[in-house]
Amino acid sequence: MKPLLSWIRILLILCVFIPSISKSQTSFQSTTLGEIDTPIKNIMILHLGEDYDIRKTMEGEITYWLSKFKFSAAQSYRYFNHQRIPIKENIIKVLKENDFDGILTTAFVTIESKERYENPQAAYNLSPNSPTFYNFLDSYQNKYSTGYTIQENAFVIDTKLFKSDDEKVLYQTTTETFQPQSLDRAIEDFSKSIARDIKKNKLLEKK
C-alpha cells in the first residue's frame, strides 16, 4: 500500500510541476503611464496586423481577459472590414457611435528566434546515487562539450491605450513572450498579462 501512495504523490507533484516548466512567460520590457483625468469605461481593442485570423485571435483574447476583470471592451473586427486595418476616419466614426472613450492597440514589433545552449549534465545528476555510467559521463562532459543548442521563439509586442477624444496616450508598454508552444499560446499568455497589468495600474473603470 505504501509504494502505491508514494507513486500517487509523485504523479501529483509532476502534474503541478511539469505544466509550469512548459508554460510560456510574458515579461514587460518598458512601461510608460500617462495621467488619467477622467475614468476610461469602454474601450475598443484594435490589433494592427494584416492577417485577419491573428487580428481576430488577438482582439478576442484581450477582450476575454479584460472581461474577466469586469472591464468593458470590444473587438474592432466586429465593426470593420475583415480584410484590412481600418482607416482613421472610420475608426473615429465607430468610436463616437458606440461611446468608446478609449482604444487599445497592439502590434508585433518582431518575432525573434533565439538560440539557447543546453548542457545535459544536470539531467544526469538526478540523485547522489547516480549509477556508475552517469558518473563516468559527468566526468566526460567536464572534458568535452556535449551540450546542444535549441531554438526558441520570442514575440515582442507594443501595446498602447489612447483616449478617444484627444488621442492622448495613457499607457504604453513593450512586452516579450518567450518560448511559447505556438503563436496562439503566445497571444493567450500576452493577453492575460496585459489585462492584469491594466488592472494593476487602474487604467480602466469596472462595469
State how far the Cα of 158 lies from the Cα of 30, in Å rounded to an integer: 10
Residue 150: what pLDDT? 60
Q: What is the mean pLDDT of residues 60-78?
A: 96
Residue 111: what pLDDT? 76
Closest CA relative to residue 77, chosen from 66, 65, 62, 96: 62
pLDDT at 186 over 70: yes
State how far the Cα of 117 lies from the Cα of 4, in Å rounded to an integer: 38
pTM above 0.75, yes or no: no
Phi, psi values for residue 74, rounded to 5°: -140, 150
Q: What is the mean pLDDT of residues 50-67?
A: 94
Which 8-state DSSP code applies to residue 86?
P
* pLDDT single digits (tens) 121-158: 444 343 444 444 555 455 444 444 455 566 667 889 99
Averaged pLDDT of the chain? 78
Query: Phi/psi class of residue 123: alpha, beta or left (left: φ > 0; alpha: ψ in -120 to 50)?
Result: alpha
Domains in the chain and their CATH numbers?
23-200 (3.40.50)
9-23, 65-79, 105-119, 156-170, range with the lowest pLDDT: 9-23
Which 8-state DSSP code applies to residue 205?
-
All 3 cell numbers of residue 193?
498579462
Confidence of residue 23 (pLDDT cuts 50, 70, 90): low
State how far the Cα of 18 lies from the Cα of 31, in Å rounded to an integer: 31
- Residue 46 in 3-state DSSP? strand
Residue 202: what pLDDT? 93
Choose between 181 and 159: higher pLDDT: 159
